[in-house]
DNA sequence: TTTATTTACGTAAACGTTTGCAGCAAATCG
DNA sequence: CGATTTGCTGCAAACGTTTACGTAAATAAA
């Protein structure tokens, strides 16, 4: 089977490769009649331009990369959904990479992407990441980057986040209003910006109601969920006075549910729980889980749009283009009074 | 900033581009001493090969495409996880495309991929797809394809599926054992192979227990969940004798929960429900949902491995390489006796 | 010593596309 | 009618890499 490319089309049409190329790109320098002929044959032969040749020549890949910790998580899944939508509309392709919250893997991925495989990058940094040299080097390679959700404060670029501080404050206040006296806070990594903001909201809300923050009530979760269950169990046994839990991430809220079931603590009578979550079935849990839900789809879509605008105009993304979207607190039975 | 490529490295080292290229690829035709020098400078200059130039020249992209209906679904999210893992290990990149179960979009995506952007394709077909010409044309372009879960029977290639017939049979029998007399079956599209298998399992299980299948109890869901809720409500109101539901997909099981809540039907006392699902929180639902859970991660990983083997050896994927993995039935309270 | 063989490197041609430049008609203008 | 513009097309050089082939020197075989 002979390959179908510009050359073969040109030969069959008795014209130059240049003319065929221009006709297909709808250049004004080629007559309408010729365009018709070219397009007709291209369609007949099912011509598809070689993306790599084009990318090489134009130094444009029409591809963006997405680097995230994991995909088996409703938040990131929805974000990808938004990203893919924005990319598709702009005619871009989406490469996906998972770090599994592993710093070394993140570095390796970013290094490889400097080869020009992508025109731009969307990223939610791994929780283990503390050094950002690899990301900064991307900027030297002139590859624009936009952070979403888990941003890197040290890098001057656009970031798409949610109002994490306010949400943390709001969630904590919600528990206080519901009558909780001793509120625990479960979070993952505290070098993650979002963790810091949410925690600050938690602390400030406590302070605003005259409560003093107890460091013993702040639990740092780990990667492994099984291990988290153990940590939470230990916490609840050590501090039986805990009557409210604010989980900074979905997994921890779920683990807390399991522990409460196991220990026979009734939700919400004995302990009230609220957590960040994009779980669709939150309202079907036993009891329905009160959540702070981030607009994940919009976050992804917005981040992609900002990136693509920069890519198209070949301009750097500016920190000033950052966007903060609002999360929504859904009050359900897990934080009901009494 | 001058570009760092083979040319610039060669100039600085006073050798030819060819030697630099060979040194970096660890060719045996270059002396160890030279390799050292080249590697040292490449590292110092942070050289990253241009992926597109390499792909163009070698006609190999080191990239596979994944075409799936959606990503905001735990099954597909886990599958992507498995795919990414296998791809990463083999040094491949992963392009992702969502069809949203839209046939036209699927065709458009597949068409574009014929341009050689990917070395191979993993696919779970859209529920609206009935014509497979676009997929067959991929094979003409010599792009191997492996289906997973939602396979296309007409295309002779490897498929990675689960034992859908047995699962459908098992789920139905489970409901019968639990005492259900009138079991409804909720499914999406019946031109999807998996739907057919599961339904056949349902029908055969009924027959094996001397029940006659009632077409009125088979509900075909649609894309929109809100609409599905309406359809299910209508079904349950029209047929108050229904005391068991076998949902072929997670969404429909969730919708059924919502309808039961709304209509005051108690699960499992009035109606027992079992459904295909990869929902992590299934055990936390009210009541905990009995599920048939597919090994989604393994499905993705296995499919990717088969594809990558074929890609590496430049051989076609054969139907004989198909794999059937087993799903697991988790019995929970939604199908408890009494 | 001469003749093979091996080793280590360079030359140059691809891969398929895009695009600056030039050419050459026909059309327009002075 | 000559000069200039305009519209269309072709030529050829890129983009950065890989690799078949050639070649010179060094080594081995004769």
Domain match, A154 and A192 both? no
**DSSP 8-state assignment for residue B249:** S
Query: Which residues from A are below 8 Å from B52, CB to CB?
Result: 52, 55-56, 61, 116-117
Does the residue B1 lie in any domain?
no
Say what the pLDDT of residue B1 is. 64
Give how far B118 is from chain A: nearest CA, Å.
10
Domain match, A170 and A256 both? yes
What SS3 class is residue B156?
coil
| pLDDT-above-90 percentage for chain A | 84
Domain match, B262 and B169 both? yes
Say what the pLDDT of residue B315 is. 87
Say what the pLDDT of residue B314 is. 86
Instruction: Please state the domain count of chain A.
Output: 3
- Asked if B291 and B277 touch (Cβ cutoff 8 Å), the reply is yes
Domain match, B142 and B168 both? no
Q: Residue A281: which of B55, B97, B254 has the nearest Cβ? A: B254
What SS3 class is residue B337?
coil
Q: Residue A280: which of B70, B116, B254 has the nearest Cβ? A: B254
Q: Which of B165, B311, B178 is nearest to B248 (CA)?
A: B165
Residues with CB under 7 A from strand D: A 14-19, 22, 28-34, 53, 56-57, 59; B 3, 5-7, 17-18, 21-22, 24-25, 47, 49-50, 53-54, 56-58
Domain match, B305 and B157 both? yes
Q: How confident is the model at residue A103 (pLDDT cuts 50, 70, 90)?
A: very high
Does the residue A231 lie in any domain?
yes
Cα–Cα distance measured from residue B15 to residue B30, given in angstroms and rounded to the nearest whole number: 12
How many angstroms separate the Cα of A213 from the Cα of each of A205, A216, A237, A243? 10, 9, 19, 15
Which tens digit of pLDDT belongs to each residue from A128-137?
788 888 998 8
- Asked if B247 and B264 touch (Cβ cutoff 8 Å), the reply is no
Q: How confident is the model at residue A209 (pLDDT cuts 50, 70, 90)?
A: very high
Does the residue A55 lie in any domain?
no
Cα–Cα distance measured from residue A22 to residue B133, given in angstroms and rounded to the nearest whole number: 29
- Asked if B306 and B159 touch (Cβ cutoff 8 Å), the reply is no
Does the residue B184 lie in any domain?
yes
Does the residue A283 lie in any domain?
yes
Chain C footprint positions (protein CB, under 7 Å): 7-12, 14-20
Domain match, A80 and A185 both? no
Q: Do A258 and B96 touch (CB under 8 A)?
A: no
At which residue do the structure tokens 């938040």 appear? A75
Domain match, B158 and B276 both? no
More confident residue, A285 or B193: A285
Cα–Cα distance measured from residue B338 to residue B335, given in angstroms and rounded to the nearest whole number: 9
Q: Where are the alpha helices (DSSP H) in chain B?
A: 6-13, 17-24, 32-44, 51-58, 74-89, 103-113, 133-140, 164-177, 193-208, 225-238, 250-263, 296-313
Low-confidence ranges of chain B (pLDDT < 50): none
Q: Do A258 and B284 touch (CB under 8 A)?
A: yes
Q: Residue B71: which of A77, A112, A258 has the nearest Cβ? A: A77
Nucleotide with minimal C1' distance from the CA of A57 is D15
How many angstroms separate the Cα of B37 from the Cα of each of B2, B17, B93? 20, 14, 30
Across A47-73, average pLDDT: 95
Nucleotide with minimal C1' distance from the CA of B16 is C10
Query: Which residues from A are below 8 Å from B285, CB to CB?
Result: 281, 284-286
- Asked if B333 and B268 touch (Cβ cutoff 8 Å), the reply is yes
Tokens of B136: 């067959």
Domain match, B133 and B248 both? no
Cα–Cα distance measured from residue B242 to residue B265, given in angstroms and rounded to the nearest whole number: 11
pLDDT over 80 at A1, yes or no:
no
Does the residue A56 lie in any domain?
no
Give how far B212 is from chain A: nearest CA, Å.
33
Q: Do B84 and A98 touch (CB under 8 A)?
A: yes
Q: Find the residue in A nearest to B262 (Cα).
A: A284
Tokens of B163: 């034992």
Cα–Cα distance measured from residue A76 to residue A171, given in angstroms and rounded to the nearest whole number: 22
Counted across chains A and B, CB pairs separated by less than 8 A come out at 133
pLDDT over 80 at A192, yes or no:
no
Query: Which residues from B are below 8 Å from A285, CB to CB?
Result: 281, 284-286
Q: How confident is the model at residue A338 (pLDDT cuts 50, 70, 90)?
A: low
Evaluate the omega torsion of the peptide bond into residue B62 and state whether it is cis, within 30 degrees of 0. no
Between CA B255 and CA B259, with CA B258 as vertex, the angle to 5 degrees is 90
Q: How confident is the model at residue A121 (pLDDT cuts 50, 70, 90)?
A: very high
Cα–Cα distance measured from residue B151 to residue B131, given in angstroms and rounded to the nearest whole number: 13
Residue-range definition of the domain harbouring residue A75: 62-161+296-325
Say what the pLDDT of residue A247 is. 97
Across A239-268, average pLDDT: 95
Does the residue A57 lie in any domain?
no
- Asked if A260 and A237 touch (Cβ cutoff 8 Å), the reply is no
- Asked if B139 and B145 touch (Cβ cutoff 8 Å), the reply is yes
Cα–Cα distance measured from residue B112 to residue A259, given in angstroms and rounded to the nearest whole number: 49
Q: Which of residues 55-74 of B touch strand C (CB under 7 A)?
A: 56-57, 59
Q: Do B72 and A78 touch (CB under 8 A)?
A: yes
Mean pLDDT computed over every residue of chain A:
93
Which tens digit of pLDDT belongs to each residue from A146-161?
999 999 888 999 999 9
Query: Which residues from A are below 8 Å from B64, CB to CB?
Result: none
Domain match, A304 and A157 both? yes
Domain match, A307 and A276 both? no
Between CA A239 and CA A246, with CA A244 as vertex, the angle to 5 degrees is 110
Cα–Cα distance measured from residue B292 to residue A206, given in angstroms and rounded to the nearest whole number: 44
Three-state SS for chain A is CCCCCHHHHHHHHCCCHHHHHHHHCCCCCCCHHHHHHHHHHHHHCCCCCCHHHHHHHHCCCCEEEEEECCCCCHHHHHHHHHHHHHHHHCCCEEEEEECCCCHHHHHHHHHHHCCCCCCEEEECCCCCCCCCHHHHHHHHCCCCEEEECCCCCCCCCCEEEECHHHHHHHHHHHHHHCCCCCEEEEECCCCCHHHHHHHHHHHHHHHHCCCCCCHHHEEECCCCHHHHHHHHHHHHHHCCCCCEEEECCHHHHHHHHHHHHHHCCCCCCCCEEEEECCCHHHHHECCCCEEEECCHHHHHHHHHHHHHHHHHHCCCCCHHHCEEECCEEECCHHHCCC
Q: Do B94 and A93 touch (CB under 8 A)?
A: no
Does the residue B252 lie in any domain?
yes
Domain with residue A155: its CATH number is 3.40.50.2300
Evaluate the omega torsion of the peptide bond into residue B268 and state whether it is cis, within 30 degrees of 0. yes
Nucleotide with minimal C1' distance from the CA of A8 is C16
Across A38-54, average pLDDT: 94
Domain match, A183 and A216 both? yes
Domain match, A72 and A144 both? yes
């Amino acid at each position: 089977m002979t390959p179908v490319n510009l050359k073969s089309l040109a030969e069959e049409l008795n014209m130059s490769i240049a003319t065929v190329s221009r006709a297909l790109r709808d250049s004004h320098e080629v007559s309408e009649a010729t365009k018709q002929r070219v397009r007709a044959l291209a369609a007949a032969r099912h011509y598809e331009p070689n993306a790599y040749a084009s990318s090489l020549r134009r130094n444009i890949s029409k591809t963006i990369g997405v680097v995230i910790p994991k995909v088996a998580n409703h938040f990131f899944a929805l974000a990808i959904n938004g990203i893919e939508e924005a990319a598709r509309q702009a005619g871009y392709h989406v490469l996906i990479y998972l770090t599994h919250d592993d710093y070394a893997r993140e570095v390796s991925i970013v290094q490889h992407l400097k080869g020009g495989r992508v025109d731009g990058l969307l990223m939610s940094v791994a929780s283990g990441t503390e050094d950002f040299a690899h990301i900064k080097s991307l900027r030297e390679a002139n590859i624009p980057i936009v952070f979403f959700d888990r941003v890197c404060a040290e890098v001057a670029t656009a970031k798409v986040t949610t109002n994490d501080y306010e949400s943390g404050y709001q969630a904590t206040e919600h528990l206080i209003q519901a009558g909780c006296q001793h509120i625990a806070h479960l979070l993952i990594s505290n070098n993650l910006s979002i963790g810091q903001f949410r925690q600050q909201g938690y602390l400030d809300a406590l302070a605003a109601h005259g409560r003093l923050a107890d460091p013993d009530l702040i639990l740092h979760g780990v990667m492994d969920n099984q291990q988290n269950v153990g940590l939470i169990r230990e916490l609840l046994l050590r501090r039986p006075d805990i009557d409210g839990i604010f989980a900074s991430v979905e997994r921890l809220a779920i683990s807390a549910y399991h522990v409460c079931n196991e220990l026979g603590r009734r939700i919400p009578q004995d302990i009230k729980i609220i957590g960040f979550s994009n779980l669709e079935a939150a309202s079907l849990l036993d009891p329905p889980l009160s959540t702070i839900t981030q607009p994940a789809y919009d976050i992804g879509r917005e981040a992609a749009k900002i990136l693509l605008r920069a890519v198209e105009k070949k301009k750097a993304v500016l920190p000033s283009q950052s966007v903060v979207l609002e999360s929504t607190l859904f009050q359900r039975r897990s934080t009901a009074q009494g």
